[in-house]
Amino acid sequence: MDLSGGLTMHDNTVQSASGPLHRPPRWLDAQRLRAYAAFVLLVNIGYLSLRIWLGSIDPVPNVSPPGWDFAVFWSASWLALHGPAVNAFDTALIEPIALPLQNMLPSPFVTPWTYPPTFLLVMLPAALLPFQVSCIAYVSAGIAFAFKACARILPPARDLSWWLPVVAFPAIWVTVGAGQNSFLTFGLMGLGLVCLERRPWLAGILFGLLAIKPQLGLMIPVALLFSRNWRTFLSAALSVGVFCALSGFVLGFGTFARFAEALPNFNQFVVQYSDRWPRGILTVFGTARQLGVAVPTAYLLHAVVAALAASAVAWIWATRASFELRASALVLATLLVPTYLMPYDLLLLGLPILWLVRDGARNGWIRGDGAAMVSAWLSPLVSYTPGNWAAGAYVPFIIFALLLVVVRRYVARRPEHANERACTVAAEERSSAR
């Protein structure tokens, strides 16, 4: 998250109604950022080490060791390998396998299997290996995939210390601790966007594979349709269809029916406990419920913010803003639209942070950009707070603030974007004439 090192910043400024673009403030220079990142990295390592000690070495009841969410994935895999795959959706069957792995007693907050058959297909081989070995293998592969996406976003630098803020990003450690699939979704979203302009068919395939977690793909069709990326849209649609068909043939098409039944049950469960969820649900809906707002009003407030986020994506993608701003807006809206979001999902925040670093290093900064980005970078730390704090109530405000940063940067450089769009249209017309 180095805002000044590793990339070259132009000296010129751009005047606009939103204020000039200029160099980052002194408190965000490379040396200070690396010092802050080193401190946060120690906090991350300390928390994970505490989890290992209290969850595995000297177990304390209801303190889960690393891989507590992967325990559900592994248990679903075991059930699918040793019987009909639909058994994975049976909470009565999955809890006796998952709870001992999680070091948990029966609790209303135990996570059932609520993922689609597409993700069950990805996880199917997991139980062929012992739980600990399988968890390490899946998480390691996910980390490698996610860092491949990071390397494609930020160019090579002589000084590799700019990787320190990346490695110290708290969401990485939260995801490692949970054993979640966020590294996979991060890589699919990041590489899909990176490939969008030069390899649209491959981008569509990567977007289609996000069918493992459909709620994270809701904004992609909006962006593709308003930007007229027809090839990518078609490729994504075909990829989803093939992925679902393959899942049905391998696992049985009855798994889709059970998944459809599991969704409303899980939604009812979320609504029932939404006002006392540990650390809060990291959405506008979750924040409203934590503040005592009635369920219908909470849904209404969430819908308003989701509509604003979707409108921002449609506008920025339709007007062909710079790639960094378009990609950032899409990812941030992806985090604002679902009503259910957990700390490990905040790994996706790394993408707009990286793209805004690249955009800011090239074009300068507006006052307040740095504070919003640092707040977003720190936001996954809510996972380390006591459950009764409901610290996650602040997260949707931080995400929305970062989306406003993207919009403001677009408005500040709108004449420049208009010139770029005119040149692009002219080039397309010349190409068509040939």
Query: Alpha-carbon distance 76 to 133, whole Å?
Result: 16
Query: Alpha-carbon distance 99 to 64, whole Å?
Result: 9
Does residue 158 carry a pLDDT above 90?
no
pLDDT band for 8, please (50, 70, 90 cuts). very low
Most confident range (mean pLDDT) of 25-29, 385-389, 399-403 is: 399-403
Kindly give, in sequence order, each residue whose CB lies less than 8 Å from that of residue 228, ignoring residues fewer than 6 positions away.
Answer: none
Instruction: List, for residues 220-247, the tens digit of each pLDDT value.
Output: 999 999 999 999 999 999 999 999 999 9
State residue 432's pLDDT score.
42
Mean pLDDT of 115-141: 96
Q: Could you give the 3-state DSSP secondary structure of residue 365?
A: strand
Query: Alpha-carbon distance 95 to 97, whole Å?
Result: 5
State residue 205's pLDDT score.
97
pLDDT band for 14, please (50, 70, 90 cuts). very low
State residue 427's pLDDT score.
47
HSE-up (13 A, CA, CB side) for residue 242? 12
CA distances in angstroms from 431 to 199, 424, 426, 434, listed in the order given: 18, 10, 9, 5
pLDDT band for 120, please (50, 70, 90 cuts). very high
Query: Do the Cβ atoms of 4 and 28 come closer than 8 Å?
Result: yes
Does residue 433 carry a pLDDT above 50?
no
In this structure, of 126-135, 188-197, 258-267, the range with the lowest mean pLDDT score is 258-267
Query: Alpha-carbon distance 201 to 231, whole Å?
Result: 6
Does residue 421 carry a pLDDT above 80?
no
What average pLDDT does the structure give for the chain? 87
Domain ranges of the chain: 26-58+147-429
Query: Alpha-carbon distance 343 to 39, whole Å?
Result: 20
State residue 283's pLDDT score.
95
Residues in the chain: 434
Which of 415, 387, 385, 382 minimizes the C-alpha distance to 399?
382
Mean pLDDT of 366-389: 89
Does residue 132 carry a pLDDT above 70?
yes
Instruction: List, for residues 270-320, the tens digit of each pLDDT value.
Output: 888 888 888 889 999 999 999 999 999 999 999 999 999 999 999 999 988
pLDDT band for 161, please (50, 70, 90 cuts). low
Q: Which amino acid is at 333?
A: A
Mean pLDDT of 256-261: 94
Burial environment of residue 423 by CB neighbours within 10 A (0 to 12, 13 to 18, 19 or more): exposed
DSSP labels, 45-91: HHHHHHHHIIIIIS--TT-PPTTTTHHHHHHHHHHHHSS-GGGGG-H
In this structure, of 134-143, 183-192, 411-420, 423-432, the range with the lowest mean pLDDT score is 423-432
Kindly give, in sequence order, each residue whose CB lies less than 8 Å from that of residue 326, ignoring residues fewer than 6 positions away.
Answer: 223, 227, 316, 317, 320
